[in-house]
Amino acid sequence: MSIYNAMTENFEEILIFNKPALFTCMRIERSTVPQGYFQYEVRRDDESGWGCAVQLAKSIRANRFGTVIINEPIKLSPGGYLNLKPDDIYYYKCDNFLSMKEYMDKYPPAEKQSKKRDCER
């Protein structure tokens, strides 16, 4: 199993819970994701082969579908996962790839955005 560096890969730009994020089928080394960004893994369903994303968690071993990186945390259940509905992830730009750096430039960490808004008041 290969694990890749977030800073050297290109990702699909997606929406998860209507928020812009990055997606790849590859496993990403968690330590390579910049501070202020959050990495989750996606589980696929058993029935449709590579089919549909059905669950989000910090780490997934079985039926792993891919990796999501986003600029704000996603609240998981106390069990450490979140069941997904079909429209929770939208692959709207499957032909649009971004590097981690491009995503960082376009979508700074949510924490920095809220501090900037506080300063502007």
Model pTM score: 0.87
DSSP character string of 50-109 = T--EEEEES---TTEEEEEEESS--PPPTTSEEE--TTSEEEEEEEEEEEHHHHHHHS--
Q: Using one digit for the tens of pLDDT, what is the confidence trace for 27-70?
A: 999 999 999 999 999 999 877 656 688 999 999 988 899 999 99
